[in-house]
């Protein structure tokens, strides 16, 4: 059986013609998918015979929310059970500018960033584009709201699942689908240099966020093993290429860890590393993960770090307002754990 939510309107049209059906049915089916229906019975304007036929070829319920954890700030972490019983997490957040979905792109992650819970059990498999869409559909169903921003920052390295991630972005921006603005989609990567260049060539208007976390090569390697494969100089060249192709400002994510990368010297080194780039820095006081001994710096040091970047180097900098840290939904805290682990 195939995942119906991974079909585009065009691929559906072809499949229906092969089945001897009229092409206009593709539009009808696609509209139901986008409405987030989870059964073929709900597709009321299709003849019963077609609904039955679809039910034999496709499944629709690719993602089922099994648990929800609500934060005091309105953030909701959702456990999604996939068709093969794998479990992923997604997070619903409310900001001034609307509803944001943080979605996963893989079951777990193999990148082994030392501060991240998503990688603790390795990576089981890539998600299909339809399973990324499914996280949004289910989120909309449960909250009765419309998602207008998406961050691909849940478990997984999206550029390690390049084909399905790109398909997801195109589906999410499809005018007859969710119709999201590409500018409202942020893709976060630990720094896969060839894929960043490949993405640049697509010339999409999405926001690229680079998980940088340290301005010095040897120290970054301790935090992020991928840095051994793609060094900082190559990563910065890929970022320049991305900007040149897309004219989009790149965000550098910088998790502040007390005693590791939070000193004045690090702020200066960071500024020198990204000087002259069309860039923004997002400082993220690290969220503790119980298996790791990382702590966020004191708030005066966080403010000082920001001030150095802004006042001395004129680099646009924000401190991320963390949502959902009381339910382990904040950055670096997502994991592919089963429900029993969460409850225990
Ligand atoms: S930070 Fe991202 S790339 Fe690194 S291990 Fe976690 S999910 Fe993977």
pLDDT of res. 243:
98
- Ligand 1 centroid distance, CA of 334 (Å): 10
pLDDT value of residue 320: 85
Residue 334: what pLDDT? 55
Q: What is the pLDDT of residue 162?
A: 98
- Ligand 1 center to residue 148 CA distance, Å? 24
- The span from the CA of 14 to the CA of 222, in Å, is 49
Pocket mutation for ligand 1, best pick of 102, 108, 116, 225 (most atoms within 8 Å of C-beta): 116
Distance 287 CA to ligand 1 centre (A): 14
- 109 catalytic? Reply is no
**Contact, 236 vs 278, CB < 8 A?**
no
3-state helix, strand, coil in the chain (%, to 5): 40, 20, 35
* Residue of minimum CA distance from atom 6 in ligand 1: 116
Q: How far apart are CA 190 and CA 226, in angstroms?
A: 7
Distance from C-alpha of 339 to C-alpha of 275, rounded to nearest angstrom: 45
Closest CA to 179 of 31, 42, 7: 31
Provide the whole-model pTM. 0.93
Q: Which pLDDT value is given to residue 325?
A: 62
48 vs 118: CA distance, rounded Å? 43
State the Cα–Cα distance between residues 83 and 38, nearest whole angstrom.
13
Specify the residue with its C-alpha closest to ligand 1, atom 4.
113
Ligand 1 atom with the smallest distance to the CA of 331 is 1
Q: Which of 7, 21, 89, 157 is catalytic?
A: 89
Residue 158: CB partners within 8 Å, gap ≥ 6?
Answer: 105, 106, 152, 165, 187, 188, 189
Per-residue pLDDT of the chain (344 residues; tens, 9 = 90+): 999 999 999 999 999 999 999 999 999 999 999 999 999 999 999 999 999 999 999 999 999 999 999 998 889 999 999 999 999 999 999 988 899 999 999 999 999 999 888 888 899 999 999 999 999 999 999 999 999 999 999 999 999 999 999 999 999 999 999 999 999 999 999 999 999 999 999 999 999 999 999 999 999 999 999 999 999 999 999 999 999 999 999 999 999 999 999 999 999 999 999 999 999 999 999 887 666 688 899 999 999 999 999 999 999 999 987 666 665 655 555 554 433 333 22
Which one is catalytic: 109, 116, 190, 331?
331
Q: Is 72 known to be catalytic? A: no
Residues with CB under 6 A from ligand 1: 109, 111-113, 116, 118-119, 155-157, 190, 211
Task: Tell me how far the alpha carbon of residue 331 is from its chain's centroid.
Answer: 11
Among 156, 213, 226, the mutation site with the greatest number of ligand 1 atoms within 8 A of its Cβ is 156
């Amino acid at each position: 059986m195939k995942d119906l939510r991974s079909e585009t309107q065009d691929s559906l049209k072809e499949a229906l013609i092969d089945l001897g059906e009229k092409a206009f049915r593709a539009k009808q089916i696609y509209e139901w998918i986008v409405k987030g229906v989870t059964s073929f019975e709900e597709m009321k304007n299709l003849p019963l015979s077609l609904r039955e036929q679809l039910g034999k070829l496709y499944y629709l319920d690719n993602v089922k929310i099994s648990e929800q954890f609500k934060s005091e700030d309105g953030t909701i972490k959702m456990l999604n059970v996939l068709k093969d019983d794998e479990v992923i997490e997604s997070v619903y957040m409310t900001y001034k500018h609307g509803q944001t979905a943080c979605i996963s792109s893989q079951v777990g992650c193999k990148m082994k960033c030392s501060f991240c819970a998503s990688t603790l059990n390795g990576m089981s498999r890539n998600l299909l584009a339809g399973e990324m869409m499914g996280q949004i559909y289910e989120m909309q169903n449960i909250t009765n709201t419309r998602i207008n921003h998406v961050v691909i920052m849940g478990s997984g390295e999206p550029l390690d699942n390049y084909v399905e991630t790109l398909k997801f972005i195109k589906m999410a921006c499809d005018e007859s689908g969710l119709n999201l603005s590409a500018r409202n989609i942020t893709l976060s990567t630990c720094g896969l240099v060839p894929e960043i260049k490949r993405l640049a060539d697509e010339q999409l208007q999405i926001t690229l966020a680079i998980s940088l976390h340290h301005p010095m090569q040897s120290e970054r390697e301790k935090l992020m093993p991928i840095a051994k494969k793609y060094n900082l100089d190559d990563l910065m060249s890929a970022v320049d290429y991305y900007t040149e192709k897309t004219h989009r400002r790149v965000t550098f994510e910088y998790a502040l860890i007390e005693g590791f990368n939070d000193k004045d010297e690090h702020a200066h080194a960071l500024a020198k590393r990204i000087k002259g780039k069309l860039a923004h820095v997002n400082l993220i006081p690290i969220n503790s993960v119980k298996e790791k001994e990382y702590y966020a710096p004191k708030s005066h040091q966080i403010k000082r770090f920001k001030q150095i970047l802004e006042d001395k180097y004129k680099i646009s900098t924000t401190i991320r307002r963390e949502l959902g840290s009381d339910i382990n939904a904040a950055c670096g805290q997502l994991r592919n754990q089963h429900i029993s682990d969460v409850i225990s």
